[in-house]
Structure formats: structure tokens, C-alpha cells
């Protein structure tokens, strides 16, 4: 199994403040990062000792191009995920009209991180993510999400279509975000439990998945752009949902 590291001061603060107990296996700081009193206080509060390392040692963990700010931590990635039943329980506690975001084989970690960040910002209850053929939580996803992976529940699912059928049985309306959808976002009323499905960056949502979804949802844009990318489309849809809920 590949080791999962986070890097950067803000992601580490978020992991310490909102992550599950036992998430951080080891914490590495350079001498410069040890002057960050807020970070040191959080580590002490949680009873976590850090190891002093050089910037070069951190780069050996996360790569030379990573903006690590003298901070790195090894994670137990099993602590990052919940199962579908737990996600549904969390959503139920969020009220009568919760929102879930289903990822359908996205491959760009920047897109995944941005979607998680938007979902957290606009009040989604959880992210549902396939275990296979889908980018998982990586260092880049953590960084791009600005630490939102630690505040928004992320559930592993085995099959998108089976999951959508389960959601529909539980009263969710399912919306596939697709450029040629006949249902327009700006005229849609979200007054039930909702699941947004975000598809692969290149291929979009698979035809069989589109058949399962209740609605094919599109965002009207001008002729100056051909389309929105996956994370931008998700952000717009999430914002519209949040205005109504």
C-alpha cells in the first residue's frame, strides 16, 4: 500500500482540529516550522510528538515541487473513509433535504479536491466515492481541498449505479451533471433529498449511470465557452442548491 502524506501548515491544522483520532501516524517539522506556535499548541493538545527533519527529507516524502512549508505528516488513510450507511445516517441528521455528491470515476486529483472543498463550503452532507477506477484521497487532493477532506465525510462505495438505486429507494432525487441535460439548473427546485453525480473529466457520466439518474442537469453558459470542467460545474450546482436550502 502506498504511504499517504499531507503537507502544508493549514492541512495539518485541519487534520489536527477535525480529523479522526489516530489519523496522524507521524508528524515531521523543520526547525522553521517549529516556530509556528499555533501548530505546536495543537500538537501538544492532542498529545502528538513531532520529529524534526530537514526540508530535503520532507521533499523525499512529498516531492520537490510540493509547497510543504516545512510540514509533513504520514496518515492512516483508513481513517479518511466511512461506509455508505454511515454517510446516510449523517445526511439524515442534517435535515429533511440533505445533499450528497457522488463522484463517478474522476481521475484528476485537483478536480476531486476542488469538489470536496466546494461541497464542504456549500453544505453537502457527504461525498460518495467509488473504491476503484476513481482517484482516492491523495496528498494533492488534501492540499487542493484546503483540508476539507477532514471536515466533510467521505464514503467508499462499491458501485455507483447500485448506490444511486439505494439512494432513490431512500427518497433521494438523483441529478447527473451533464452539458446536454434537458433539466436546467436555474429553473430546478431542490425540495427533496438530493444526490448530484459528477462524471469523469473526459468521458463524462457513463450511459448506464445516466439511465439510472432521475434528471440530466445542465448549466446554461454563453457561447464564449464550450463547457465547464467537472469541479466548476459541481461548484455552480452546489451553490444553486445552497441558495435554496
* Whole-angstrom distance, CA of residue 112 vs CA of residue 130: 12
pLDDT digits (tens, 9 = 90+) for 165-184: 999 999 999 999 998 899 99
Query: Is the pLDDT reported for residue 223 higher than 90?
Result: no
Buried-state track 124-148, b at ≥16 Cβ within 10 A, e below 16? bbbbbbbeeebbbbbbbbbbbbbbb
User: Where do the structural domains in the chain lie, given as residue ranges?
Assistant: 4-79, 82-244
**What pLDDT is recorded for position 163?**
98
pLDDT digits (tens, 9 = 90+) for 36-73: 999 999 999 999 999 999 999 999 999 999 999 999 99
Torsion of CA 15, 20, 21, 23, to 10 degrees: -60
**What pLDDT is recorded for position 226?**
81
CATH 1.10.3720.10 fits 82-244, yes or no: no
CATH 3.40.50.920 fits 4-79, yes or no: no
Burial status of residue 51 (CB atoms within 10 A of its CB: 0-12, 13-18, 19 or more): exposed
- Domains 4-79 and 82-244 alike in fold: no
Tell me the helix, strand and coil percentages in the chain, rounded to 5: 40, 20, 40
pTM: 0.93
**What pLDDT is recorded for position 172?**
98
Percentage with pLDDT > 70 across the chain: 99
**What pLDDT is recorded for position 227?**
83
**What pLDDT is recorded for position 3?**
87
Amino acid at each position: 500500500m502506498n504511504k499517504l502524506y499531507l503537507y502544508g501548515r493549514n492541512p495539518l491544522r485541519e487534520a489536527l482540529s477535525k480529523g479522526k483520532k489516530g489519523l496522524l501516524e507521524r508528524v515531521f517539522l523543520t526547525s522553521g516550522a517549529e516556530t509556528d506556535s499555533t501548530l505546536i499548541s495543537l500538537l501538544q493538545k492532542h498529545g502528538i510528538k513531532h520529529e524534526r527533519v530537514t526540508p530535503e527529507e520532507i521533499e523525499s516524502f512529498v516531492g520537490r515541487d510540493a509547497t510543504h512549508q516545512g510540514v509533513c505528516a504520514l496518515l492512516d488513510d483508513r481513517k479518511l473513509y466511512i461506509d455508505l450507511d454511515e454517510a446516510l445516517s449523517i445526511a439524515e441528521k442534517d435535515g429533511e433535504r440533505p445533499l450528497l455528491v457522488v463522484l463517478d470515476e474522476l481521475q484528476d486529483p485537483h478536480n476531486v479536491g476542488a469538489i470536496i472543498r466546494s461541497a464542504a463550503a456549500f453544505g453537502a452532507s457527504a461525498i460518495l466515492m467509488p473504491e476503484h477506477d476513481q482517484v482516492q484521497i491523495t496528498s494533492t487532493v488534501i492540499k487542493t481541498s484546503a483540508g476539507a477532506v477532514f471536515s466533510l465525510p467521505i464514503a467508499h462505495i462499491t458501485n455507483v449505479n447500485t448506490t444511486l438505486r439505494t439512494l432513490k429507494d431512500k427518497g433521494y432525487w438523483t441529478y447527473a451533471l451533464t452539458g446536454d441535460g434537458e433539466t436546467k439548473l436555474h429553473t430546478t427546485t431542490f425540495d427533496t433529498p438530493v444526490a448530484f453525480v459528477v462524471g469523469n473529466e473526459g468521458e463524462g457520466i457513463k450511459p448506464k449511470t445516466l439511465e439510472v439518474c432521475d434528471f440530466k442537469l445542465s448549466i446554461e453558459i454563453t457561447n464564449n465557452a464550450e463547457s465547464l470542467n467537472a469541479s466548476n460545474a459541481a461548484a455552480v450546482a452546489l451553490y444553486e442548491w445552497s441558495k435554496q436550502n
